[in-house]
Structure 1
Amino acid sequence: AFPTWSRNSGKKGCSAISEVVAREDTLNIHESIHGMGFKKGAPWTLRETQIFAMKETGTPDMHTDTRLSKAAWAKGIRHVLHCIHGQLSREHSDAEKSPNKLYRSVTCVPVTTSQNPQTVSEN
C-alpha cells in the first residue's frame, strides 16, 4: 500500500498522502466482476478499477488513460480479461478550481507474461 501517516512516531508531521508516488500493480478483475451479468462486464471493470485505485492511493479525483479502457474492452463487453497490469500514480493537480491538491492516474502497462505478477513501487 501507499505510505500513510504513522501513529507510532513520536513527532507529529504532515500526512504522506501529499507525496507524489507511482507503482505498478496487478488488478484482479475476475474477482470483482464475479456474478455480474454478461453485458455488464467491461463497464464494471472500469468502475472496479476506479474503486481499487481510490482505496490504494487515497485521492478521490481520477484520470483514466485510454490504454486502460482499450484493455478493458479488448475482448468485447462479455469476455473480460482476468487481470490487468496497471500503473497507479498520484500526481499534483494543475486545476485551480479543484478542491484536491492531488489526483490519481491509472494507466495500463503492457506485460509479456502474466505468470507470477509482482507489485513494484516506483519513486
Structure 2
Amino acid sequence: NSSYKKGSEKKRDYSDVNEVVTRKHAINIHKGSHGVDLKKCGPWALKEIQKLAVKEMGIPDVHIDTRISKAAWAKGMRSVPYCFHVRLSRKYNEDEGSASKFCVLVTYAPVTTLKNLHSQW
C-alpha cells in the first residue's frame, strides 16, 4: 500500500509553530556524553540542550538561561550532571532585527529528585 509510510519516513507536523507554548523536558545528557573528550563535556552538554530545543520547537532562535549554564558547570567541566529538567517556552521575539517572529527560551527547572520524570506538554 503506497499510503503506508514507515516511522522514519513520516513528516513531522509543525502546524503548532505559530503558537506560544511551554513544555517541560527531562534531558539525559549522560547517555550521549560517551566518547566526548572530558575537557569538552561542559560545552557539549549546552550544545545538546540547544539542539534539542531547535528540534522540539522547530525554531532556530534559541536563548539559554544562565541557570542552565551554571547547573551544567556546577560539578566542573568534566563531570556534567546526568540529567537536566528544562522548560522550553516558545515566545514572541523581542529583537527587532531578527528574521523569525518567535524565539525559544530554555530555562532550568530544578527538581528534588530525577526519578520517574517524563517530558510533559
Which TM class, normalised by the smaller chain length?
Answer: 0.7 to 0.9
**8 Å contact from structure 1 (residues 53, 88) kept in 2:** yes
Task: Show structure 2 runs of 5+ residues with no match.
Answer: 1-11
SS at match of 2:48: helix
The residue that corresponds to 2:27 in the other structure is 27
The residue that corresponds to 2:67 in the other structure is 67
- 1:102 counterpart = 2:102: yes
Q: 1:51-109: per-residue Cα shift (whole Å, max 9, x none)? A: 01100000000111011001100100001111100001100002221000000010110
**8 Å contact from structure 1 (residues 39, 77) kept in 2:** yes
Distance 1:93 1:27 in 2: 25
1:4 to 9, 13, 18: 13
TM superposition shift of 1:4: 3.4
The residue that corresponds to 1:77 in the other structure is 77
Distance 1:105 1:34 in 2: 27
Distance 1:81 1:99 in 2: 34
TM-score by length of structure 1 reads 0.85
TM superposition shift of 1:42: 0.5
Percent pairwise identity = 47
Count of residue pairs the alignment pairs up: 110
Question: How do 1:15-54 residues align onto structure 2 when only pairs under 5 Å count?
Answer: 15-54=15-54
TM-score by length of structure 2 reads 0.86
Task: Show structure 1 runs of 5+ residues with no match.
Answer: 6-14
